[in-house]
Amino acid sequence: MADTGGLRGWLRSIWRSQGPSEPVTDTVCDSPDPLIPLLVPAGGQVFDFCLFVYLRWSSPTHTYGQLQSFGHQHAATARSTVRRSAWEIGRRHEPTSIADVEREINRCFAGGLCYEDDRYGTVRCEPTVRVLMDQRLRQHLEPLGLSRAEEEERHRGEMARAALAEERTRFWLDTLRTFEGAPPLAEETDADPVRRAELERKRARAEMRRRRFLLPFAAQLADERLAQVADALSQFRWQRGADLVTVLGSARDDHRRVGLYEFAQAYDRAIELFCEELGLSVDDVSVPVQLDAAADG
């Protein structure tokens, strides 16, 4: 039987050349999806990139059946063309750079491929490449990737918990401060700028001491782990402060016994400033130091 498809295509082309112009709709078909990847060596020649090449064919002069048959006949040639270009690209990349390789290969074939059909005219082929990692390398990296994902998820969870703990602690600090009857913080209005700056520094130090004192109690209401750390920090600060005040007191007494009263007074002043900084109350440096429970500056 004569092939009427060629006749129809020829008549269609004659009619289009003589009749009014109209939009030309291309016939489009896809080659079957590849089942076996094309292997392209990666940099170092140890691992390969696995390429899956998808082909789309289009023509304004072919019927669907003609185009499908043409694509079936030329699919191997098109994939071979892609592989030759990908071979050179793959060697320039590390075996883990699958996204870069995929992007570069697809950019290389963005203009498509053109084939001439002697009977029905030009056929356009648009390859799309998907690149996968070498299975050997994937198996090696999989445990590392899972471990990293677990660490990142744990980090996000810890950061979220820390943010909540901070918010709750601030809330309970302000609440306890209010219940303790602390005076509201107000701006200093002294006309003398030097005195005003000094008053602001004293106010800030008093507020810091108050918050240090209340922090372990607020942390108990906010987060269990934070409470443990805050309590340990408070105990550590108290012990180190007590030890230092005791040493300074001993040095003061030693200088006083030998008549170096100016040095003794300097040690007294150092003890006073240090206790003020830490919110400690010292009646006699020869005995253990106690926290100033009031600590309200």
Does residue 125 fall inside a structural domain? yes
Count up the domains in the chain and report the number: 2
Which residues contact residue 96 at a Cβ distance below 8 angstroms, ignoring those fewer than 6 apart? 133, 137, 141
Tell me what the mean pLDDT of segment 183-189 comes to: 54
Which pLDDT score, from 0 to 100, does residue 84 have? 92
Same structural domain, 123 and 8: yes
Same structural domain, 53 and 126: yes
Tell me what the mean pLDDT of segment 160-183 comes to: 82
Does residue 152 fall inside a structural domain? no
Does residue 153 fall inside a structural domain? no
Same structural domain, 114 and 196: no
Q: Which of 38-47, 165-174, 204-213: highest mean pLDDT?
A: 38-47
Which pLDDT score, from 0 to 100, does residue 296 have? 38
Banded pLDDT at 211 (limits 50, 70, 90): confident
73, 180, 182, 187, 291 from 175: Cα distances, Å: 80, 9, 10, 21, 21
Does residue 176 fall inside a structural domain? yes
Does residue 149 fall inside a structural domain? no
Look up the CATH number of the domain holding residue 94: 3.30.479
Does residue 154 fall inside a structural domain? no
Does residue 140 fall inside a structural domain? no
Same structural domain, 31 and 75: yes
Banded pLDDT at 4 (limits 50, 70, 90): very low
| Residue 255: pLDDT over 70 | yes
Which pLDDT score, from 0 to 100, does residue 184 have? 54
Same structural domain, 103 and 178: no
Same structural domain, 103 and 174: no
Percent of the chain whose predicted confidence (pLDDT) is above 90: 37
**Structural domain of residue 211, as residue ranges?**
163-182+190-291
Same structural domain, 172 and 55: no
Same structural domain, 122 and 229: no
Q: Is the pTM of this model over 0.85?
A: no
Does residue 223 fall inside a structural domain? yes
Banded pLDDT at 121 (limits 50, 70, 90): confident
Same structural domain, 172 and 263: yes
Same structural domain, 61 and 116: yes
Same structural domain, 199 and 95: no
Give the least confident one: 111-125, 152-166, 188-202: 188-202
- Decide which of 132 and 203 is more confident: 132
Which pLDDT score, from 0 to 100, does residue 193 have? 78
Same structural domain, 283 and 222: yes
- Decide which of 112 and 251 is more confident: 112
Average pLDDT, the chain: 80
State pLDDT tens for residues 94-106. 999 999 999 999 9
